[in-house]
């Protein structure tokens, strides 16, 4: 059996490169939002109000339930958290 090596877990478990790219972006956004919320040193309920989320939705975000959030939703939340999001687009190595 031939072993394959991947640069990222999403590359290994997602069926397409596009799906892996989406998951990587979503994961990065979730981690950045989580750090911003942690830096506020407040309760989940207060953070949820600040981000205009319900408390259960906030809980999903903080627990890393990535499949419950679209990339668009995470971009909106990141902006409400005071984060600046930039997209870096490059050609893949041949």
Domains of the chain, residue spans? 23-80
Whether the per-residue pLDDT at 70 is higher than 90: the answer is yes
Percent of the chain past pLDDT 90, that is, above it, reads 66
> Dihedral of CA 78/65/38/32: which sign?
negative
Nearest alpha carbon to residue 35 among 78, 88, 67: 78
Q: State the pTM of this model.
A: 0.84
CATH class for domain 23-80?
mainly alpha
- Local structure of residue 55 (DSSP, 8 states): H
* CA distances in angstroms from 4 to 1, 9, 11, 13, listed in the order given: 10, 12, 11, 12
For the chain, how long is the longest CA-to-CA vector? 52
pLDDT of residue 54: 96
């Amino acid at each position: 059996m031939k072993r394959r090596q991947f640069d990222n877990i999403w590359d290994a478990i997602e069926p397409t490169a596009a799906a892996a790219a989406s998951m990587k972006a979503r994961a990065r956004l979730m981690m950045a939002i989580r750090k911003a919320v942690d830096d506020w040193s407040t309760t989940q309920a207060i953070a949820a109000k600040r981000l205009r989320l319900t408390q259960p939705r906030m809980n999903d975000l903080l627990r890393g339930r990535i499949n419950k959030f679209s990339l668009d939703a995470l971009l909106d939340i990141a902006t409400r958290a005071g984060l600046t999001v930039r997209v870096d687009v490059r050609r893949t190595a041949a």
